[in-house]
Structure 1
Amino acid sequence: MALDGRIASIEIYSVTIPQDDAYLGALGPGESVNSAGYFVRSGNRTIYPVKMRSAVVRVTLDSGEVGWGETYGLVAPTAIHGLISDIIAPIIAGRSPFDVQAIWDDLYDLMRVRGYTGGFWLDALAAVDIALWDLMGKLTGLPLHQLLGGKHRDRIPAYVSGLPRPTIPEKVALARSFVDQGFQAVKIAASVSYDGVEREIAALRAGLGPDIAIMLDCHWMYTPAEAVALLRQLAPYNIYFLEAPCKTEDVAGLADIAAHAEVPVAAGEEWRTVYDARSRLEARAVSIVQPEMGHTGITQFMRIAHLTQAHHAKVIPHATIGAGIFAAASLQASATVLSLPYHEFQHSIFPHSAKLMTGRLECSEGYFALPEGPGLGVSPNASFWENATRLG
């Protein structure tokens, strides 16, 4: 196959992801759905849609070869469409997908002086970046992990993320069911621990035994002092990590928590670039970094991972709401990262995403399988198209 194809067009789709369980769980006290189909979690003051959506891009070369990318499309997916169609597509038309890292840097520079160093702009870059890496794999016949330098593992340990059940006994039973399947780690969300975080953690420890890793996602809810106090309360239960304990912009506060913590502090799902990671790592504010492929794209995911390892910290990727494309990219990239003990398994989303893809996208018995084939190893199937709407 010729390797000289040039970028000809980019299409953007909004994809609805089927679900059995509501993400994180049902509506909490005082929470309601507004006229646009959104609600706000009172615990972390964050907006969520009732229907989970993702923004998927298809990049086509003048040779006809197609690459797939994806970013978050939970809220205002038309923002992604506007940025890609109005700015990105005309700028990169005619370029080679083999310029992918240079393209990312060029696009980042376009808007940095306007303050667009995160948010929708970087999400749009992430989607296009993933598609270009996918194209490189297809053009060379190589899987992404080989393009990135080679894999360290053939399967990736998974931790179960979220226990969307209304009562603590039901949450423990759900966690136990995953442990019985072979999973060795479970994470809960403080924002939906309506009966109390300590009570929930204590019940999980009693129900799962001493050897299962229990993680706590705080969703940026606490002040540094509150987070330190919470860690003291949770000390008897030996949690594996404390995630996102304070507001994301409070780097000094995060470092203060880490200095007082006797367990690892994790953060990073909302970061878009290695620049976000640098300030936290240099401040010794985290010992676990959680890059989210849907926000970083492959180029920045790997730059973050390399910097994290240079600081002797660990990488545990975040991965939640997607149609399966950035999940495949995350697994491929994760296989190349040496210091990576787990990868997030969002059980209320991932199995449904897998049904939208052709290719191996599996998680069972506590491990993700590595997708096979050139590029990402997955592509949309007929079920995907039944749930997709073209934007623009």
Structure 2
Amino acid sequence: MKITDIDIIVTCPGRNYVIVKISTDAGIYGWGDATLNGRELAVAETLEKHLKPLLLNKNPDNIEDIWQYIFRGTYWRGGPVLMTALAGIDMALWDIKGKVAGLPLYSLLGGKSRDKVLCYTHVYGKDFNSVKNEAEKHIKKGYKAIRIQVDIPGCEGTYGTNDSYSDKLPVQEIWEPSPYLQTIPELFKYLRKELGNEIELLHDVHERLTPVEAKILASQLEPYRLFFLEDPIRPEHKASFNVFRQTAKIPIAMGELYNTKWEAMQVMEKQLIDYIRCDLSHIGGITEAKKIANIAEIYNIKTAWHGPADISPISHLANVHLDLSIPNFGIQEQTEFFPPEVKDVFSNLPLFKDGYLTVSDKAGLGIEIDEEAACQYPYKRGYLPTSRRKDGSVQDW
């Protein structure tokens, strides 16, 4: 069997997605996700102009060799654009392999280690009471775990509390650490009193704090039993995890901005985190994610793969297939914020029931793409927000 064609489809059913379709001379094709939010066309051009010519006539069964060839063969390796392009190819190849075998992807990864995977979704509000009300709605839906964000007083726009995706220039938000550090511990104190201890609560810092600030926040949140505190500091500050890891008794999750297993190694081998949160569509796909999960298992670290609305349903299905198969699965992020138009293009999403996710037993990833519908939603330039401090200096968003 040989690869005969690679199609790159850039579509915008409410959000921009980059889809990879790999076709073979056996009439079997596979789907992959190569979406990099805000830089979609950079990935699409990389696939079309640089990687597609390298893969024609190659055997799609040789996933590992193709992965190594693309990653190491460029010499200028790594980075989010190249690793996202590689992820799209990798997922499509695994989809083909599953279809050839007539088996769902999780079966090719070793079979099921569990029947269903615990998930969490996002809850936010303008104030404590609105957050509580939204949380109660999701608890009634069956969620066992929810990620909590709230507007910060005195700040203009807060990560996780509004949809600031823009098709013009990036929306600019204003943020300050002092009111944030005062607000978040009080929020979780309030929610534990109102919601009780049974529901699992999570919070995403989004890499906005210095190591010392993160240490203060983690210590203040200890009494409220968070499932984990996500991305407390920037990914470059791997050694700085020592600053608060030695004192704060709270589970830490990190990794959605890592692009390779080597970037994740230091925090894992020194056991500075409890959950690794890489994004399958930004680390080279299923092949690399499986290796990262294997490394994490050695250090008793669990997985919590990135699962936002800015990756397509293809990646969400890949997440759950991998979750079902690995022994050290922890929890899966699941978005409820897909635009309704997504269903016009993508045939399937993970199945939610009573706080858990599963997938169908269809061969491969178990998804089809309506290419004609995808063409009805052309690409629209889009940006994630940016953030600044009140003095005008740039702040991590």
Question: TM-score by structure 1 length?
Answer: 0.83
**Partner Cα separation in structure 2 for residue 247 and residue 390 of structure 1:** 30
Q: Deviations over 1:286-345 (max 9, x none)?
A: 121112122121001101111110111111221112231111111111100112131111
Q: Does 1:346 align with 2:309?
A: no
Q: Does the 8 Å contact 2:21/2:32 carry over to 1?
A: yes
Q: Is the 8 A contact 2:316 2:349 kept in 1?
A: no
Where does residue 306 of structure 1 map in the other structure? 294
- Equivalent residues of 2:125, 2:149 under 8 A apart: no
Q: Residue type matched to 1:319 in 2?
A: G
Residue in 1 aligned with 2:111? Answer: 150
Find the counterpart in structure 1 of residue 93 from structure 2.
132
* Equivalence for 1:367: 356
Deviation of 1:198 (Å):
2.0
Partner residue, 2:155: none
| Counterpart residue identity of residue 352, structure 2 | C
| Contact 1:11–1:390 (CA under 8 A) maintained in structure 2 | no
Structure 1 317/213 Cα, relative in aligned 2: closer, same or farther at 3 Å? same
Matching residue's letter, 1:7: I
Deviates more, 1:369-378 or 1:131-140: 369-378
Checking the alignment, whether the CA contact within 8 Å between 2:104 and 2:366 is kept in structure 1 is yes
The aligned counterpart of 1:108 is 71
Equivalent position of 1:179 in the other structure: 139
Mapped to 2, the partners of 1:231 and 1:310 lie a distance apart of 25
Q: 2:394: which partner in 1?
A: none
Note the C-alpha offset of 1:261.
2.0
Q: Which residue of 2 aligns with 1:234?
A: 221
Cα 1:310–1:261 shift into 2, 3 Å: same
CA distance in 2 between counterparts of 1:353 and 1:187 reads 23
Please say if residues 36 and 84 of structure 2, whose CA atoms lie closer than 8 Å, have aligned partners that are also in contact: no
Which residue in 1 is equivalent to 2:51?
88
Is contact 1:205–1:237 with CA below 8 Å preserved after alignment? yes
Deviates more, 1:124-133 or 1:313-322: 313-322
- 1:163 is aligned to 2:123: yes
More off after superposition, 183-192 vs 352-361: 352-361
Residues 266 and 290, structure 1, Cα contact 8 Å, conserved in 2: yes
8 Å CA contact 2:228–2:253 kept in 1: the answer is yes
- Taking a change above 3 Å as real, the CA distance of residues 335 and 220 of structure 1, as seen in their structure-2 partners, is same
Which ranges in structure 1 are unaligned for 5 or more consecutive residues? 19-51
2:347 paired residue among 358, 366, 371? 358
Q: Which amino acid aligns with 2:8?
A: I
Which of 304, 307, 318 is the equivalent residue of 1:329?
A: 318
In the aligned structure 2, how far is the partner of 1:350 from the partner of 1:312? Answer: 37
Q: Which amino acid aligns with 1:310?
A: I
Query: Measured at CA, do residues 138 and 224 of structure 1 come closer, stay the same or move farther in structure 2, by a change above 3 Å?
Result: same
- Measured in 1, the distance between the counterparts of 2:281 and 2:376 equals 19
**Which structure 2 residues correspond to residues 19-98 of structure 1 after superposition, within 5 A?**
52-98=15-61
Superposition deviation, residue 197 in structure 1: 1.5
* Residues 202 and 352 of structure 1: CA distance in aligned 2, closer, same or farther (over 3 Å): farther
CA 1:361–1:130 in 2, change beyond 3 Å: closer, same or farther? same
1:376 to 1:332, Cα distance in 2 relative to 1, 3 A: same
Counterpart in the other structure of 1:316: 304
Change (3 A) 1:388 1:155: farther
Aligned-pair identity (%): 25
How many angstroms apart in 1 are the aligned matches of 2:341 and 2:361? 19
- Structure 1 equivalent of residue 8 of structure 2: 12
Deviates more, 1:222-231 or 1:248-257: 248-257
Distance 1:294 1:225 in 2: 31
Partner Cα separation in structure 2 for residue 315 and residue 387 of structure 1: 36
Cα deviation for residue 179 of structure 1 reads: 0.9
Using the TM superposition, name which of 80-89 and 298-307 deviates more.
Answer: 80-89
Q: How big is the shift at 1:214? A: 0.8
Q: Say which SS state the counterpart of residue 13 (structure 1) adopts.
A: strand
- Which 4+ runs in 1 deviate beyond 6 A? none
How many residue pairs match? The answer is 351
Structure 1 residues 38-58: Cα deviation after superposition (integer angstroms, max 9, x where no partner): xxxxxxxxxxxxxx3221111
Could you tell me whether the CA contact under 8 Å between 1:56 and 1:71 is conserved in 2? yes
* Corresponding residue SS for 2:273: coil
Residue by residue, what CA displacement relative to the aligned partner does 1:254-291 show, whole Å, maximum 9, x if unpaired? Answer: 23322222011110112222212212212322121112
Give, in whole Å, the separation in 2 of the partners of 1:178 and 1:207.
14
Alignment of 1:205-284 (within 5 A): 205-284=192-271
Q: Is the 8 A contact 1:271 1:277 kept in 2?
A: yes
Q: For residues 387 and 368 of structure 1, do their structure 2 counterparts lie closer, same or farther at Cα, with a shift above 3 Å needed?
A: farther
Q: Is the 8 A contact 1:144 1:332 kept in 2?
A: yes
Determine if contact 2:22/2:29 at 8 Å carries over to the other structure: yes
Q: Are 2:124 and 2:148, in contact at CA under 8 Å, matched by a contact in 1?
A: no
SS at match of 1:379: coil
| TM-fit CA distance, 1:200 | 2.4
Native 8 Å contact 1:97 1:132 kept in 2: yes
- What TM-score, normalized to structure 2? 0.82
SS in 2 for 1:64: coil
Unaligned runs of at least 5 residues, structure 2: 151-157, 162-178, 381-397
Native 8 Å contact 1:371 1:378 kept in 2 = no
Distance (whole Å) between structure 1 residues aligned to residue 229 and residue 306 of structure 2: 14
Deviation at 1:388, TM superposition (A): 4.3
Once the two structures are superposed, the pairs formed by residues 369-384 of structure 1 within 5 Å of their partners are 369-381=358-370
- SS of alignment partner, residue 26 of structure 2: coil
Q: SS at the partner of 1:142?
A: coil
